Chain A
Amino acid sequence: DTAVSQTPKYLVTQMGNDKSIKCEQNLGHDTMYWYKQDSKKFLKIMFSYNNKELIINETVPNRFSPKSPDKAHLNLHINSLELGDSAVYFCASSQSDGLTSTDTQYFGPGTRLTVL
């Protein structure tokens, strides 16, 4: 059984387009995250949601909009894609409340986004 799944695995698109990445976890966790890993392999948090509520928004451009329809899903929508958005995006979940501690993170397989 896949614990944290993301779709699509690869996404190639033109500058200016709008795209979405979906994430689902079947671990029963309350907190979900989006991370961006750039070409230098630096893994940086973008957002976290606890029980469908936004907890962390780490100075990400407002072209990025996360949406959590329920606590098992956290999708990422990106408007007006730019070259610099090319990276691998990882979804993760954890048991923590997202505010007082960050328990073990369970990561998805990643989505490699290439903006041409």
Chain B
Amino acid sequence: SQKIEQNSEALNIQEGKTATLTCNYTNYSPAYLQWYRQDPGRGPVFLLLIRENEKEKRKERLKVTFDTTLKQSLFHITASQPADSATYLCALEGSYIPTFGRGTSLIVHP
């Protein structure tokens, strides 16, 4: 069956460091993968989309990589700030049903 895995444990890092979050998937051949940010009590907000033929995508301090051989996407936040603390969800397009991972909580300490 199709599965998306994100680290269930919270990632704690110091302000200024680079945060790296992982999204692994099995039994998918997605045309693209998306990353969303969710703050407590709010709906997810779209951050970045990367297509299967793209290795890397950047937006300001954010960088996403997509390795279709490893079936993995990495999400990086450089020069992290306490305001980056949130849950980050990856989402795959598969059989027209949008499927989300459970998300990884990121906590950036000042």
The answer for the CA separation of A98 and B97 in the assembled complex, in Å, is 8
The residue of chain B having its C-beta at the shortest distance from the C-beta of A108 within the complex is B43
Minimal beta-carbon separation of A32 from chain B (angstroms): 12
Whether A43 touches B100, Cβ cut-off 8 Å, given contacts A105-B91, A108-B43, A110-B42, is: yes
The residue of chain B having its C-beta at the shortest distance from the C-beta of A6 within the complex is B43
Q: Is the interface of B mostly helix, strand, loop or mixed?
A: strand
Residues 87-110 of chain B, each 1 if its beta carbon lies under 8 Å from chain A, else 0: 101010100111110110000000
Minimal beta-carbon separation of A73 from chain B (angstroms): 17
- Do B43 and A92 have beta carbons less than 8 Å apart? yes
Whether A107 touches B93, Cβ cut-off 8 Å, given contacts A40-B102, A45-B98, is: no
Interface residue count on the A side (C-beta < 8 Å)? 25
List the A side residues contacting B98 at CB < 8 Å. 33, 45, 102, 105
Whether A41 touches B87, Cβ cut-off 8 Å, given contacts A56-B97, A102-B96, A102-B98, is: yes
Interface size class of B (residues with CB under 8 A): 20 to 34
Minimal beta-carbon separation of B70 from chain A (angstroms): 23
The answer for the CA separation of A92 and B98 in the assembled complex, in Å, is 11
List the B side residues contacting A98 at CB < 8 Å. 96
List the B side residues contacting A110 at CB < 8 Å. 41-43
Q: Which of chain A's residues 13-32 have a Cβ closer than 8 Å to chain B?
A: none
